[in-house]
Structure 1
Amino acid sequence: MPLRELRQAMALTQQDLADRLQVNQPAVAKLEQRADMYISSLRSYIESIGGQLRIVASFPAGDVAITNFSSVEQSEPPT
């Protein structure tokens, strides 16, 4: 699902999202049109609409969650 449609499904305007991300509305419009972006930008976008970004690689033998892109705040301390 495109980011724009995801935002709309959450009943948010670009301005609503811009306020949450602390950017201007044109920055949100540009982000929604990009085919390539930083994972951190995508994570911020998803989290600002109430979601959690998970990256999963699919292989014939099964799916594997990629965890080295987790944000520092979400990481558990080493034991």
Structure 2
Amino acid sequence: MAKKFAALRAAMSPRARELAEAKAQKMLAEMPLYELRQARGLSQKMLAEVLHVQQPAIAKMEKRTDMYISTLRSHIEAMGGQLEITARFPEGSVRIGNFSESGKVSAS
């Protein structure tokens, strides 16, 4: 008989639960485009309709390792999101604004 997840979780030590939660949050914070699309409840066909392209174009784009920022922005916006480019340095992070539509640069 399968055990319920709640029972398995309850048997974990607090440290193990903490590590599992941290790993889950990291996985949610970093995902490829196809996983992001799926997490948003969209099919490739639905996204293709919003972007006015054919479904195979979405499949091809999701497999790319390199693309124009404008292409990525339109893909993210079609999913209801907003693209931000941030450079991270030991001293802090800077949001790169010349890729945004407004062209404003801001530091965070």
Q: TM-score w.r.t. structure 2 length?
A: 0.66
Query: What amino acid is aligned across from residue 62 of structure 1 in structure 2?
Result: G
1:21 matches 2:58: no
Of 43, 55, 58, 2:73 maps to 43
Deviation at 1:14, TM superposition (A): 0.1
The structure with the larger Rg is 2
Query: What amino acid is aligned across from residue 87 of structure 2 in structure 1?
Result: A
| Unmatched segments (≥5 aa) in structure 1 | none
Query: What amino acid is aligned across from residue 13 of structure 1 in structure 2?
Result: S
- Equivalent in the alignment of 1:54: 84
Query: What amino acid is aligned across from residue 57 of structure 1 in structure 2?
Result: A
Q: How many residues align?
A: 73
- SS at 2:41 equivalent: coil
Deviation at 1:58, TM superposition (A): 0.1
Larger helix proportion of the pair? 2
- SS at 2:87 equivalent: strand
Equivalents in 2 of 1:56, 1:70: separation in Å? 11
- SS at 1:42 equivalent: helix
Equivalents in 2 of 1:70, 1:9: separation in Å? 25
1:30-59 Cα distance to aligned partner (Å, 9 max, x none): 000000000000000000000000000000
- Equivalent in the alignment of 2:9: none
Which consecutive segments of 4 or more residues in structure 1 shift more than 2 A? none
| Unmatched segments (≥5 aa) in structure 2 | 1-30, 104-108
Q: Comparing both chains, which one has the higher relative contact order based on Cα–Cα distances under 8 Å and sequence gaps of 6 or more?
A: 1
Q: TM-score w.r.t. structure 1 length?
A: 0.90
Deviation at 1:11, TM superposition (A): 0.5
1:3 matches 2:62: no
